[in-house]
Structure 1
């Protein structure tokens, strides 16, 4: 269930009208700067989590 909620939230954020650009930038910064000690998976996968088209990320997330 948690994965479904996360995907729905991410999809909604990607389809906004750009009004939350600062929030999106802050989220990207937080993922890129995630500590390998406290968030090892996010730190290791930061590039993959943030690149590509939305459909590609959805597919990638469902495969993992």
Structure 2
């Protein structure tokens, strides 16, 4: 599942994000969502989140068990 819909992303969820510095390379960072930073319901490049370790990026994939 992609992270474009705010309703699909919530604190405690495991996700892959792309940090601003990694946008060109496409390197993914995996972590647990702490806060949602995008207020709109939908964002074409992914909902912006803060991970529990403090990193901020846009969700590109939701990790499902």
TM-score by length of 1: 0.20
RCO comparison, higher one (Cα < 8 Å, 6+): 2
The alignment's TM-score, normalised by the length of structure 2, stands at 0.20
By percentage of residues, which structure has more strand?
2
